[in-house]
Structure 1
Amino acid sequence: MANAMYVNSDQLYQAKAKEGKADISRNHSPGRKGCSYKFLLICFLLGISLLWLFVSLPIMIKWYLDLAEVKQKDLSRIDKSLEELKETVGSICQACASRSICQECPLGWLLFRGSCYKFSTTAKDWEGARISCAESNSHLAIINSLEEQYFLSNSTNSKDSWIGLSDKDTEGVWQWVDGSPLSFSFWNTGEPNNYMERDEDCVQLRYDKGWNGEWNDSSCKFTFLWICEKRSLCNLGLAG
């Protein structure tokens, strides 16, 4: 006959209590605890990233829109400047027949070999004439060839006229108003002579007493007509 086992109630309660502790220990093992911490950390970092994106995205969008607006304004200003430049060049080129030949000079000026000349109708001393030319963006005439001399002397209506030659800076050293030295001359016989030591430091085209536009040194204080010169617009390379 099998041996019977008798367990009292206290022993049964203690056995179940031990079994329950073992289950709790298994459910809270170190491996499971570490896994839950990693999951929480990932969730935290993901939340921070989403929060940063939520905050920064509107700022980035606004910055991009502001930058696009600035670029658009800059492009508009550039387009406007180009249109104004186009209109200016178009106005200049109306006086030009091609890229190298100018049809006409400003009103009241005569064209000769790439330069425009204006002959005054009033008289001034040499310095006053020089200033008047400068006010029209030009200078007193500079003569570099016999052809230019003939053109000017035939265009003055035989009236004495200042040109841009003087020895005001150094006596006997003749220079043009642009500082260039004298390379071509058309002095009359015996000129320059500084007649009667009157400080004849400025040069005129002279016509009286048998003169026909030859050069004469004269006192800069005398008053004569004058000739202004400036390069034509097409000769400056602004045509076409």
Structure 2
Amino acid sequence: MQDYSLSSLSVEIPAARSTKYRVILILGVLLILAFLVVVILVSLLFIDYKSTQKEILQMKNDSALKKGISDLQKSVANMTDDLNKIKLIKNKGPSYPLCSEGWNHYGLSCYYFSSDKKPWIASKKECEDKEAHLVVINSEEEMKFLRGFANKQTFWIGLTDADGTWKWVDGTPYDITPKFWGNTQPDDWKGHGLGGGEDCATLSDGYDWNDLQCSSKIKYICEKKMTF
């Protein structure tokens, strides 16, 4: 039988404890290093994320700037074209017919105020058959002109939200044109008994806009550019 003396045990126990403490110390150091690595990685990811966000924002700003410049160039081109047309009209003299018979002149457009009454879709087609479109209102001055000729009557105009968003028939962005809605309008009223809401716009009583059920039969206004 092996003999274990007290002196040998007293040597082994401190050695075991020393080894244990070294292991704990090494593990602690490794944990601290791992934590520092995680912190560094998170910091790098955050910096990369902020940089990416900044680049995306810059791209959006560049895109918006390019679109703004493009829209401005188109506006300038249209203004130049309009000025050339005005000069051409002046050169032709005061007797030059600006619009066809039955049409009224304002600016560089001709307007037809119908005497017959039709639903909005049929009115739209009538204008297209005349190589025109339902009137698109681009300014307060044009609105004043239409009020003068409407004589307190109600007419269809070229504005509809049949797909859920108000749009002009010629593609003019609705957001950039002035609005002349009457008080509480548009209200998409469904109590008319005709089914659905009100998805087509009118020049109501010759003054402001109102939304109406598109199958209602009323007069309409066509618009087309003058030809030279």
Q: Which band: TM-score by shorter chain?
A: 0.5 to 0.7
Residues 200-221 of structure 1: CA deviation (Å, up to 9, x unaligned): 00000111xxxx5200001000
1:138 equivalenced with 2:138 (yes/no)? no
- Structure 1 counterpart of 2:204, one-letter code: R
Structure 2 matches for 1:15-164, cutoff 5 A?
96-98=89-91, 103-164=97-158
Residues 50-94 of structure 1: CA deviation (Å, up to 9, x unaligned): xxxxxxxxxxxxxxxxxxxxxxxxxxxxxxxxxxxxxxxxxxxxx
Q: Which runs of 5+ in 1 are unaligned?
A: 1-94
Structure 2 matches for 1:184-195, cutoff 5 A?
184-195=178-189
1:100–1:201 CA distance, 2 compared to 1 (3 A): farther
Residues 136-171 of structure 1: CA deviation (Å, up to 9, x unaligned): 1000000011110111121012111000000112x1
What is the distance in 1 between the residues matched to 2:201 and 2:147? 14
Q: CA deviation at 1:189?
A: 1.1
What is the distance in 1 between the residues matched to 2:97 and 2:126? 25
**Secondary structure, in 3 states, of the residue corresponding to 1:154?**
helix
Higher helix share: 2
1:176–1:165 CA distance, 2 compared to 1 (3 A): same
Aligned to 2:203: 205
- Structure 2 counterpart of 1:219, one-letter code: Q
What is the distance in 1 between the residues matched to 2:135 and 2:93? 22
Aligned to 1:176: 168
What is the distance in 2 between the residues matched to 1:219 and 1:181? 22
What is the distance in 1 between the residues matched to 2:116 and 2:198? 21
What is the distance in 2 between the residues matched to 1:224 and 1:126? 8
Larger radius of gyration: 1
Runs of 4+ residues deviating >4 angstroms = 99-103
Question: Does 1 or 2 have the higher relative contact order (CA < 8 Å, sep 6+)?
Answer: 1
Q: CA deviation at 1:179?
A: 2.1
The answer on whether the counterparts of 1:96 and 1:103 sit within 8 Å (CA) in structure 2 is no
What is the distance in 2 between the residues matched to 1:118 and 1:110? 6
Residues 93-131 of structure 1: CA deviation (Å, up to 9, x unaligned): xx9442799642001100000000000010000000000
Structure 2 matches for 1:217-232, cutoff 5 A?
217-232=211-226
- Structure 2 counterpart of 1:184, one-letter code: P
The answer on whether the counterparts of 1:165 and 1:175 sit within 8 Å (CA) in structure 2 is yes
Aligned to 2:29: none
> What is the percentage of aligned positions where both structures have the same residue?
36
The answer on whether the counterparts of 1:110 and 1:117 sit within 8 Å (CA) in structure 2 is yes
TM-score normalised according to structure 1 size: 0.52
**Secondary structure, in 3 states, of the residue corresponding to 2:190?**
helix
What is the distance in 2 between the residues matched to 1:180 and 1:104? 24
Number of residue pairs matched? 134
- Structure 1 counterpart of 2:208, one-letter code: E
Q: CA RMSD in A?
A: 2.1
1:100–1:147 CA distance, 2 compared to 1 (3 A): farther
